[in-house]
Amino acid sequence: MLRWTRAWSLPLRGLGPCCLSSSRVPVAPSSSGRSGVEPRSVLLSYKLLDGEATRPALVFLHGLFGSKTNFNSIAKALAHQTGRRVLTMDARNHGDSPHSPDMSYEAMSQDLQDLLPQLGLVPCVLIGHSMGGKTAMLLALQRDMAERQFLLTNLVEVDGRFVWRVNLEALAQHVDKILAFPPRQESYPGPTLFLLGGNSQYVRPSHHAEIRRLFPQAQMQTVPNAGHWIHADCPQDFVAAIRGFLA
């Protein structure tokens, strides 16, 4: 059974030519039996076919006893026909990927959550067969859940019914202005810190020149594993960056 899903609202990053990793690492200890502990990821072996960095990549996940080679011809055909980047990989305990005593879907999802941002392949389209399809399903559900929980903080109970505490009508009417910034000619000469999430695409390289024009003393610091909500994704790095700026 073949399952596919679109997942992740994260940044796109350009990559160079096709690259292949097949290195092994020592067997990783299991964390699946410890409640509340995030599964420990392993470095997956993968093959990446290059394509347009502005379009979501296609990511293939094989089934039980399979490997990344199962999709070789299909990956090449889709890369040629769609112009997109196409990634195939070996799941943990399969192919050239490391062995681990943890073979839970949570662990396989964590492997992807660590690998895909490193390769700049998010957002992406996940295409999984059998075991790989279930891994894609779990990953999509885990990422959707985090955003839903954030949005639901704006839902409150008033007089026995749930209402939005944000003014949705006003926000919808002015969303373009909120996402933009009013044009200004003057500049601010004081010290300024722009803290960017490595997995966020809100501040693009094309914005840097205007930022430095408006704030000539600006420092730009990136938190590698954070998205748009740096304070929620990496609170310790967030606090450390502020303390460093204040020092």
Q: What is the CA radius of gyration of the chain?
A: 21
pLDDT of 179: 81
109-161, pLDDT tens digit by residue? 999 999 998 998 988 999 999 899 889 988 887 878 667 777 888 999 999 99
The DSSP output letter for 14 is -
Residue 48 phi/psi, 5° resolution?
-120, 125
Closest alpha carbon to 25 in 84, 109, 114, 99:
99
Q: Is the pTM of this model over 0.85?
A: no
In the predicted structure, residue 25 carries a pLDDT above the cut 60: no
Percent of the chain whose predicted confidence (pLDDT) is above 90: 48
Q: Where are the beta strands (DSSP E) in the chain?
A: 2-7, 19-21, 46-49, 57-61, 86-89, 124-129, 155-158, 161-164, 192-197, 218-223
Grouping H, G, I as helix, E, B as strand and the rest as coil, residue 181 is coil
Q: Which residues carry out catalysis? A: 130, 169, 228
